[in-house]
Amino acid sequence: MLARTIVWIFLPAIALSQSDDVFHRLQTALSPADSAERVSSAIANRNFQKLGQMLDSLTPRSDTERSEVLALRAALEFLDGKMAAAVSDFQKASSLGALTDSDAFTFAMALINVGGEGQARPLLATLAEKYPQRAIYIYWLGRIDYSQRRYLEAVEKLKRAAELDSESARVWDSLGLALDMQGLNDQALEDFQKAAKLNRELPRPSPWPPHDLGFLLLRMDHPKEAEASLREAVRYDAKLGEAHYHLARALEKQARDTEAIEEYRNAIFTDAASADACYSLAMLYRKLHRDADAISMFAEYKKRKQANPEGITRQ
């Protein structure tokens, strides 16, 4: 099984946790040069473009002030989903002065988003050493280990994060993934079940914990139980192609071919980069002696494989 890039509960959660600090600093930096009312209005409306324009109008008088303005601009770009721009401005800010702990963490998150995990690691390691009781920094170091296929190191860090924050669905889910990649199915299953339960209690549940639980159950040949978890994942995100695909496989294992065909089609429609569902549906059509449909689906499979030989799916 190929490792899955861990992506769930990323930008929205980090952005929400950072925004209060950033907006307070913006109010402090901008109010002397602009009306407090205009600044407050732009913040309340999350008008990142307007806030950026206000920052551009400032005239910093020292490297320290220039660093702060650049860091604030970078934080705004992060909140606006402009990761490459955020990385660039954080780099400029750090060349002029030391970043705050909050900015260093946001910088690390932006780097991870653009594939700069090697640069993010020392930032997170410094924070983890400074705050050894904060699970978030150890958790992200574990995620970097996982993405770099250092599964033993990932498990060690993620277990520590789970000790520090036992109510975190994403920690248990990530730990389950790292154990799963080592073939430790029973341990992974237990952690995925914890993650799915905690995730279910969140205001905005992620589809990934029930998906990961369902996918493992499917591979352990428990299609009925897998179906329940995968349907939960689809409820949380109807556009998650992987969940539709694995749900189709669980249904096919139960000889519920009509429902499986529908879910294969959902997977094909929602994930235009993936060829797996095309191949599986073609094989099912062949089994059902729907030869014309099988030929058509094999053709779609070949087209997608040629366009995407690495089999990379959208996350």
Structural domains in the chain plus CATH codes: 236-315 (1.25.40.10)
Q: Is the pLDDT score of 315 beyond 50?
A: no
Average pLDDT of the residues in 165-191: 97
DSSP string, 139-186: HHHHHHHHHTT-HHHHHHHHHHHHHH-TT-HHHHHHHHHHHHTTT-HH
Q: What is the mean pLDDT of residues 162-182?
A: 97
**Secondary-structure percent of the chain, ordered helix, strand, coil, rounded to 5:** 75, 0, 25
Query: Mean of the pLDDT values across residues 227-252?
Result: 97
Confidence of residue 153 (pLDDT cuts 50, 70, 90): very high
pLDDT, position 144: 96
Write down the pLDDT at residue 30.
79
Whether the pLDDT of residue 184 is over 60: the answer is yes
- pLDDT tens-digit readout, 5-57: 544 334 444 544 556 677 778 777 777 666 667 777 877 778 878 888 888 88
Please report how many Cα atoms fall inside a 13 Å half-sphere around the Cα of residue 149, on the Cβ side.
3
273: amino acid identity, one letter? A
Q: How far apart are CA 36 and CA 48, in angstroms?
A: 16
Predicted pLDDT of residue 9: 38
Looking at the chain, the whole-number percentage of residues with pLDDT higher than 90 is 74
Name the strand (E) or helix (H) holding 273.
Answer: none
Question: pLDDT-based confidence at 264, cuts 50/70/90?
Answer: very high
Half-sphere exposure of 54 (CA within 13 A, CB side): 26
Give the integer Cα–Cα distance in Å for 245 and 254: 15
In 10 A of CB 85, how many CB atoms?
Answer: 17
Q: Could you identify the residue written with the tokens 């033993």?
A: 152
Residue whose structure tokens are 């008008």:
47
The predicted pLDDT at position 55 comes to: 84
